[in-house]
Amino acid sequence: MQNNPQSKEHASYKVGIRRSTRQVNVGGVLVGGNAPISVQTMTKSKTSDVAATVAQIKQSAIAGCDIIRVTVNDEPAADAIAEIVKQSPIPVVADIHFNHIFALKSIDANVAKVRLNPGNIGSKDRIHQVLTAAKAKGIPIRIGVNSGSLEEDILEKHGYPTAEALFESAMRHVEICDEFNFRDVIISVKSTDVKLMIEAYRLIAQRTDIPLHLGVTEAGPTKIGTIKSAVGIGTLLAEGIGDTIRVSLTDDPVKEVEVGKEILRSLSLATRNVELIACPTCGRLEVDLFGIMKELEEKLSGVKKPIKIAVLGCVVNGPGEASEADIGIAAGKGVAILYRKGVVVRKIKEEEIVPAILEEVEKFQVL
């Protein structure tokens, strides 16, 4: 572990160069190093309901999820995790709190990673059992620190959750792993406070070479949670910090994955599928852009081609923006010009806009 905050290896994060870290293998998905940034979510069903949990995992995988976390919080969940792992198309992470037996059962079930804080599972003998079992199977540990559940002595020392307090808590657990020569570690230092979360991750990034799992914990309902996550996760990713992400929403896991993927795409950190661009609309609007975009979103939701589609509703910015997209529409009063790679294809009626775009998408060739 590197603890020099002035280390050249980590100083570059401020200017957006990808932070250099050790690499961890999570069930075949590489995290850290030069690996692509992976997207995670967490199932929200009762883990003991294997069918419902596996269904959520499969839906999340279709949406683009790379790694998925499942709570193992009681005996029925611990009994179910092996079957869930067998049926899952993507790596499964066991979420453990306090109970080392559940961690051992999850490791026996061949989970891809265990999320726990070693210092919270009891005696050193219990910690040694878990780390030894994980190491034997090449299963990494994510140390998950949360501003809402810091250790009492750390809170007493700092007065309230601070970036230094989160860092200190994380390092306490890392040091336990180091004591047992366990290095396959990933860290998260989450908070509902976006500014605090950013500051805490920056400290970890400056002072260690450990891969980071980014997230704003308990971000909230979809609209608010999406904004908070985009600001927090996006800021850090733009600085080169972060190796895997999870957007926490009070919503379906698929929605978390969709938002996470879009955060990566907005920073050109993931391959974009269909990108829909539209003007914000104003009094110059002369077509039903709201209806057009809603229909396009629905009909293009399953298309995996990396296509940039621009639909502009007036003649001021429309021709320029439309001509810069793969497929573009510059609309006027009841009519529109269809562009393909900047070249005018033909004039169409308003009611032909959606069918024309769908036809162009069908014909579009990815080079």
At 11 the pLDDT is: 33
CA 139 to chain centre: 21
Say if residue 199 is in the same domain as residue 345.
Answer: no
**309 shares a domain with 169:** no
Higher pLDDT, 6 or 122: 122
pLDDT tens, 140-186? 999 998 888 888 888 899 998 999 999 999 999 999 999 999 999 99
How do residues 240-277 score in pLDDT, each as one tens digit?
A: 999 999 999 999 999 999 999 999 988 988 876 788 88
pLDDT given at position 245:
97
Condensed to tens digits (0 to 9), the pLDDT of residues 195-221 reads 999 999 999 999 999 999 999 987 678
Half-sphere exposure of 208 (CA within 13 A, CB side): 25
Cα-Cα-Cα-Cα dihedral sign, residues 302, 340, 337, 322: positive
Domain boundary among 237, 266, 295: 266
Contacts of 153 by beta carbon, 8 Å cutoff, 6+ apart: none
Domain boundary among 217, 244, 266: 266
Q: Are residue 242 and residue 281 in the same domain, yes or no? A: no
Which residue stretches of 305-352 are H helix? 318-324
In a domain, 182, yes or no: yes
The reply to whether 349 falls in a domain is yes
Of 266, 290, 321, which residue is a domain's last? 266
What domain count does the chain have? 2
Q: Report residue 14's pLDDT band, with 50, 70 and 90 as the boundaries.
A: very low
Structure tokens at 19: 């932070």
Does some domain include residue 339? yes
**Strand 307-312 to 274-278 pairing:** parallel
Neighbours of 124 (CB within 10 A): 12
Q: Are residues 246 and 155 in the same domain?
A: yes
Cα–Cα distance measured from residue 95 to residue 144, given in angstroms and rounded to the nearest whole number: 10
The amino acid occupying position 226 is T
**Confidence label for 232 from pLDDT (cuts 50, 70 and 90):** very high
Please state the pTM of the whole predicted model.
0.82
Asked if residue 254 and residue 220 are part of one domain, the reply reads yes
Burial label for 325, CB within 10 Å (0-12, 13-18, 19+), is buried
Residue 74, domain CATH? 3.20.20.20
Q: How do strand 213-214 and strand 23-26 relate by DSSP bridges?
A: unpaired
Give, in order, the Cα–Cα distances in Å from 356 to each of 97, 198, 233, 292, 329. 54, 44, 37, 12, 10
| Residue-number span of the structural domain to which 135 is assigned | 8-266
Tell me what pLDDT residue 270 has.
Answer: 81
Statement to judge: residues 240 and 352 lie in one domain: no
Residues 287 and 261 grouped into a single domain: no
Model pLDDT, residue 366: 65
SS3 content of the chain, % helix, strand, coil (to 5): 45, 20, 35
Indicate whether 283 and 154 sit together in one domain: no
∠ CA 39-40-41, rounded to 5°: 140
Distance in angstroms (rounded) separating the CA atoms of residues 44 and 52: 9
User: Of 131, 113, 130, whose CA–CA distance to 26 is shortest?
Assistant: 113
In a domain, 261, yes or no: yes
Single-letter code of the amino acid located at 1: M
Residues 6+ apart with CB under 8 A from 8: none
Average pLDDT over residues 1-28: 61
| Mean pLDDT score, 224-251 | 95
Structure tokens of 272?
């974009």
Q: Answer yes or no: do 158 and 259 share one domain.
A: yes
Cβ–Cβ < 8 Å for 39, 260:
yes
Q: Please, what is the Cα angle at 269 between 264 and 271, to 5 degrees?
A: 90
> Radius of gyration of the chain from Cα atoms?
23
Instruction: Indicate if 45 and 98 belong to the same structural domain.
Output: yes
From its phi and psi, is residue 245 left (phi > 0), alpha (psi between -120 and 50) or beta? Answer: beta
Closest by CA to 358, choosing from 298, 296, 314, is 296
Q: Is residue 3 part of a domain?
A: no
Domain CATH for 280: 3.30.413.10
Give the pLDDT score at 315.
66
Let me know whether 94 and 215 are in one domain: yes
Q: Confirm whether 157 is domain-assigned.
A: yes
The reply to whether 183 and 241 lie within a common domain is yes
Q: Is the dihedral of CA 263, 269, 274, 275 positive or negative?
A: positive
Residue 1 lies in a domain: no
Give CA–CA dist 226/252, Å, rounded.
13
- Determine, yes or no, domain membership for 226: yes
Residue 129 CB: number of other CB atoms within 10 A? Answer: 18
Give the model's confidence band at 121: pLDDT under 50 very low, under 70 low, under 90 confident, else very high: confident
| φ, ψ for residue 278, nearest 5 deg | -145, 150
> pLDDT category, 282, cuts 50, 70, 90?
confident
Q: Report the distance separating Cα 123 and Cα 100, nearest Å.
A: 10
> pLDDT digits over 43-57, tens only?
999 999 999 999 999
Sign of CA dihedral 32, 35, 39, 40: negative
pLDDT of residue 273: 75
Q: 341: alpha, beta or left, given left = phi > 0 and alpha = psi -120 to 50?
A: left
Specify the 3-state DSSP secondary structure of 213.
strand
